Structure 1
C-alpha cells in the first residue's frame, strides 16, 4: 500500500465519467489517491473533463501533432498512467509507448501489432478464425459485389476501420450495395440472437485473469445502456481463444459476440481498450482498474473470476455544471 498521489490521464475523455470514478475507487482501495487528468477536443463540452481534477484541450486524435501534445503534457505534469478511451487513437499511442515510458508515463495499451489487427476488422476475423475462434463469414464488399449469389441475404455491412457503430447497416440484397463508399467496407453474414460484450483482463505476460460477459439489453451510440452480467462457459472459452490469438494483448480488452441459435456464439468485434460498458464489470467485482493500478505500483495484479452474476446496469443521463 502507498499513500502517494497517482496522476492518471484519460484521453478523448468525452462522457467517460463513470470510468474515471472506477479508477478513483480502485486507487482508494490500494491506499492511493488518484488525481484525474482528462483531455478532449473541446474539454468544456466534455462531462468527464468537467468532472476531472484538471482538463485541457488537444487536437483531434487524427491530427499528426496529437501525440506530441500528450507527450508535452505528460512531461510537464508528471503523468503516471495514460488511459485511452477510443479506438481511433490507439495506433498512434501504441507506436509511441517507448516515448511515454522515457517520461515515466505508462500507457495502458497492447502491442502495436495487436492494435493493428483489431483496428482492421478484416484482419480481426482472419486472425481469430485461424486460432479457432468462431466468427461470422466476412469479405470485402468488392468480393461480395462480384459474387452475390454465394451469399445468404440479408447481410451486414460495416467499415473496415469503423468505431462506435459508424457506417453500419443491413443489406437486404445485392441491390442495396452502393456503387461507391467513402471508405473500405466489409460484408458479414447476418447473425441473429442476443448480443453480449465480454470484458477481459490479461496480465503482463498475456495470461487471461478474468472474463466477464454481460448481455447487451439496450445500446445507444454503440455503447451498452442496459446490461446484465452472465456466466457462460462457452464465452469464457472463447475469451481464452481471443487471448491466445492476440499474444501481444495486455490489460483490458473487450469483444462483442452474438449467440446465434444456429451458429452458436460468434465474435464480430474487438476493442483493445476499456469499453463503454466496463463500469458494469467493475461493479460486478472484476477489479480490472484496481489490477492495472496494482501492476503500475509493483503489486500483484488482482483481476478476478470471482465476480457476481446477474448484476444489472441501467444508465441514465446526468448533468455536470460549471459556472
Structure 2
C-alpha cells in the first residue's frame, strides 16, 4: 500500500484532529506522515504531528509558496484547512497548488466558499433554496423599527462566535451596531442548537451526516455535545448538500425551534467539534484516506447514536530546547 502524507494547516489547538488522522492511518495500515503547520511554535497540535513546520501568516504573500514547498519536501497528498480565513486563499490557489505538487486541496469551489464566508450570501442561499433562517433585520427594517427584541448581532465575516451578542433593547442595539465590525442583525432564535458534521466525497455525494446537540460551548466551540440521529435534520442536510455541492468535511449549524429547523451558518471545513462525530463512527479522516486510495464510498449512518462528549483542556509541555516533554 502506498504512502499517504497529510498536511494539516493552522493546526493550533487541533490536537484531537491530528490524532484522528494518525489513528485512521494506522487503522488502515497505511504508511505516511501527518504533518502539521502553524504560525506559532506554541501551537500544541504541531507537537502531536509526525512532523511540523512554521509558516507565515495566511494573508502574507509567502504563505502559498511556503505551503507548496512543504508539499514538495514531504510528498503531501492531502492538504486540510482548519480555519475560515484560509478558505478564500486556498480556493484561489487550489489549481496552482495541485498543478505544482502531488497534493489535493480539501477545499470546496470558490462559489461555495463565498456563500459560506459572507453571512449575507449565506442568508440569500438558504432563503432562495427554501431553507429557513432567522429573519434578517436590515437597515430598512431598523429604520422603520419593524422588529421585536431580543435580536442577535454578529460580524459579516466572523467565526468562533467572536463579537456575537444577544441584543435586548434599543440602547444595546445602538451600541452593538457601532461595536461589531460589519454587523448583521437577525431575529433571536430559541430552541435546541445543533452542529451537523457532514462528510461529502469529491463528487459532492454525502457519505455521513451526524447531528450533534450543543449542550455547552466556550468561545464558539463545543464543550459538551450529544450525538442525535435526528431524522428531520439529516434529511434536510441532504437537501442542503445537494444544492450547495461542497466537498470534504463540513459543519452546519442550526436550531430546532417551535417553527421548525432554522439555519445559522455553514463552515466548509473541519469544525472544532468534529472529533465527536469521528469518535461516534463517522470517521472523516478514514474516509479521506479511503478516497485517496481510490475506493468508492457509500452513504452510511453506522455511527453511535446517543454518544455524549464532554471535552476538557490538556497541556503540551515544551522544554528550553524546543522539545516536547
With normalisation by structure 2, the TM-score equals 0.92
Deviations 1:260-279 (A, max 9, x none): 2x222211011000111111
1:182/1:195 CA distance change after superposition, 3 Å: closer
Deviations 1:76-131 (A, max 9, x none): 22211110000111010011111121211111111111011100011111111211
> Using the alignment, how far apart are the partners of 1:61 and 1:17 within structure 2?
20
1:182/1:125 CA distance change after superposition, 3 Å: closer
Does the residue aligned with 2:178 lie in a helix, a strand or coil? coil
User: Residue 108 of structure 1 aligns with which residue?
Assistant: 106
> Using the alignment, how far apart are the partners of 1:36 and 1:113 within structure 2?
29
- Deviating beyond 4 angstroms after TM superposition, the runs of 4 or more aligned structure 1 residues are none
User: Residue 310 of structure 1 aligns with which residue?
Assistant: 306
User: Residue 143 of structure 2 aligns with which residue?
Assistant: 146
Matched, 1:294 2:290: yes
Matches within 5 A, 1:57-68: 57-68=54-65
Matches within 5 A, 1:1-323: 2=1, 4-42=2-40, 44-102=41-99, 103-140=101-138, 142-147=139-144, 149-176=145-172, 177-178=174-175, 180-181=178-179, 183-247=181-245, 249-260=246-257, 262-301=258-297, 304-323=300-319
User: Residue 322 of structure 2 aligns with which residue?
Assistant: none
Q: CA deviation at 1:258?
A: 1.2
Deviations 1:242-261 (A, max 9, x none): 212313x111111111112x
Q: CA deviation at 1:21?
A: 1.1
Residue pair 2:223, 2:310 contacting (<8 A) in 1 also: yes
Residue pair 1:81, 1:108 contacting (<8 A) in 2 also: yes
> Using the alignment, how far apart are the partners of 1:146 and 1:58 within structure 2?
46
> Using the alignment, how far apart are the partners of 1:100 and 1:290 within structure 2?
23
Unaligned runs of 5+ in 1: none
> Using the alignment, how far apart are the partners of 1:182 and 1:59 within structure 2?
28
Deviations 1:38-86 (A, max 9, x none): 11111x2111011112212112212233222212221222211110000
Residue pair 1:287, 1:303 contacting (<8 A) in 2 also: no
- Please identify, of 171-180 and 200-209, the stretch whose mean Cα deviation from structure 2 is larger: 171-180
RMSD: 1.6
Residue pair 2:137, 2:147 contacting (<8 A) in 1 also: no
Q: CA deviation at 1:144?
A: 4.3
Q: CA deviation at 1:14?
A: 0.5
> Using the alignment, how far apart are the partners of 1:202 and 1:172 within structure 2?
39
Unaligned runs of 5+ in 2: 320-325
Q: CA deviation at 1:181?
A: 4.4
